[in-house]
Amino acid sequence: MRHINARELAYSVLLDVERNNAYSNIGLNHTLNAADADARERAQATRLVYGVLERKLTLDGVYGAYLRKGTRIKPNVRTLLRLGTYELTFCDGVPARAAVNEYVSLAKREGCGYASGMINAVLRRTAENGLILPSPDDPSFLIMKYSVPAPLIGLFREVYGDDLTAFLDSLCRKARVYGRVNTVKTDFPSLQHELASQNIAILPVDGLPELFYFDGSAAFRDTEAFRNGLFYIQDLSSACAGKLLDARDRMRVLDVCAAPGGKSFFAALSMHGTGEVVSRDIHAHKLRLIEDEAKKLGLANIVPQLFDAGKTPGDEAFDRVICDVPCSGLGVIRKKPELRYRELSDIGSLCELQYGILCAAAGAVKKGGRIVYSTCTVTRSENEDIVARFLSLHSEFQEVRPALPFGEYGEYGVRFSPHRDDCDGFYACAMEKT
């Protein structure tokens, strides 16, 4: 097997994303698992893939300045130009001449030899001039600086107002990775000590004693602690939604869109392994992943069920219902950078799906019980507007507002923001049935 370097790995993944709208995280994992590459090159390939996706519009503007007007380039050449431009403008310590030569050679190996001269010339100009942005008063300034399309900048401006720049700045920072201690098996001091023995530092989250974050990058998936289920990964915002749910010992909890399972696990641990958490999803393969993770965590009170959340949940009544609905995902752009380039036209149909799932899930709440509606997006139409519509037509439900150490309550529900809370963009609203 020929040794494959980081640039080749990144090129393969990015070309698949460009041509087939593939998911970068899935494509990257598949490519890395199949590659003959060492840990350093795998890490570099990961940085290149996510860096290019995060800065795609910026990169197109930078190298595009050196193309003749009207030049049409194929996806494979465009991918090479983006990769080279990213390394030359955003990566420190990269020898410019060597990098340019590497991409010219890669172009020839990948059947793009016809464009090697153009790639050489454009990347050399890029190396000489560096990152050049429009003036701040230019309408394209925010698009170029943050690599966010104009329609999405308009949407973010409606949501964040004067905080727009702070929010956009946060999209360019690496997302903090949070974990939840599996208190059925261990406690924070013990877990901290075990991970420290492997040179992995974790720090507690103020106000959420069961939550922690990694101090810097960490290969936590290779640790015995992770493999043995002493913790699992869960964002701060998702954990706060778990706090809103307020699951207590021996309760019955329903999670209507459970995959990947984090909120089900939080509820199960909040009940100290007692009671029952019925974790439903429409996809059987996702339920198998939940079941496997529950076994690893030692949570016997998780009950996976194949079910369509849009349908009436049946005659069963639950003390707590988790309703984390499919959404546009605009709150997790830092983790899934290609989402910033998605079309916004399908949000309307998503809203109808979300409202239907909430109404169906509410039918499973017993009197005196609670439902938490949540999304990992920032649009008002998928969040506050859904809750307002629901409450106006379901007078038996009332919003409740437990104190939280993070987030900001608004007209309906609570918002979590990356620039204020250092977490995903997220929304949640707790409602009780009277």
How many Å apart are CA 375 and CA 316, to the nearest integer? 25
pLDDT bin (cut points 50, 70, 90) of residue 1 is very low
How many structural domains are present in the chain?
Answer: 4
Please give the model's pTM, rounded to 2 decimal places. Answer: 0.93
Does the pLDDT at position 3 exceed 70? no
**Same domain for 120 and 190?**
no
Print the domain residue range for 154. 141-171
Q: Which of 169-173, 217-221, 337-341, 380-384 has the highest mean pLDDT?
A: 380-384
Give per-residue pLDDT as tens, 228-239: 999 999 999 999
**Same domain for 324 and 274?**
yes
* DSSP H or E run through 306: strand 302-306
**Burial of 145 by CB count in 10 Å (0-12 exposed, 13-18 middle, 19+ buried)?**
buried
**Same domain for 87 and 204?**
no
Query: Among candidates 404, 416, 427, 424, which has minimal Cα distance to 206?
Result: 404
pLDDT reported for residue 2: 53
**Same domain for 223 and 252?**
no
The answer to whether 418 and 376 have CB atoms below 8 angstroms apart is no
**Same domain for 308 and 209?**
no
How distant, in Å, are the alpha carbons of 15, 34, 169 from that of 110?
Answer: 11, 18, 35
pLDDT reported for residue 217: 76
Q: State whether residue 88 is helix, strand or coil.
A: helix
* 89-93, 102-106, 350-354, 377-381: segment of lowest average pLDDT: 89-93
Query: Among candidates 352, 273, 257, 265, which has minimal Cα distance to 313?
Result: 257
The answer to whether 230 and 189 have CB atoms below 8 angstroms apart is no
Q: State whether residue 323 is helix, strand or coil.
A: strand
Higher per-residue confidence, 2 vs 390: 390
Give per-residue pLDDT as tens, 189-205: 999 999 999 999 999 99
The answer to whether 171 and 331 have CB atoms below 8 angstroms apart is no
Give per-residue pLDDT as tens, 9-67: 999 999 999 998 888 888 888 888 887 777 788 889 999 999 999 999 999 999 999 99
Q: What residues pair up with 373 in beta bridges, in sequence order?
A: 323, 429
**Same domain for 189 and 329?**
no
Among residues 233, 248, 272, the one where a domain terminates is 233
The answer to whether 358 and 325 have CB atoms below 8 angstroms apart is yes
Give per-residue pLDDT as tens, 258-267: 999 999 999 9
**Same domain for 405 and 373?**
yes
Give per-residue pLDDT as tens, 237-293: 999 999 999 999 999 999 999 999 999 999 999 999 999 999 999 999 999 999 999
Mean residue pLDDT of the chain comes to 94
The answer to whether 10 and 83 have CB atoms below 8 angstroms apart is yes
**Same domain for 371 and 417?**
yes
Give per-residue pLDDT as tens, 129-153: 999 999 999 999 999 999 999 999 9
How distant, in Å, are the alpha carbons of 353, 368, 415, 427 from that of 377?
Answer: 15, 29, 10, 7
pLDDT reported for residue 363: 96
Residues belonging to the active site? 376
Does the pLDDT at position 174 exceed 50? yes
**Same domain for 350 and 224?**
no
pLDDT bin (cut points 50, 70, 90) of residue 69 is confident
How many Å apart are CA 181 and CA 203, to the nearest integer? 12
How many Å apart are CA 260 and CA 198, to the nearest integer? 27
The answer to whether 257 and 280 have CB atoms below 8 angstroms apart is yes
Pairing of strands 178-181, 231-233: antiparallel
Q: State whether residue 426 is helix, strand or coil.
A: strand
Higher per-residue confidence, 154 vs 342: 154
Residue 316 is part of a domain; what is its CATH number?
3.40.50.150
Report how far apart the first and last C-alpha atoms of the chain are (Å, whole number): 66
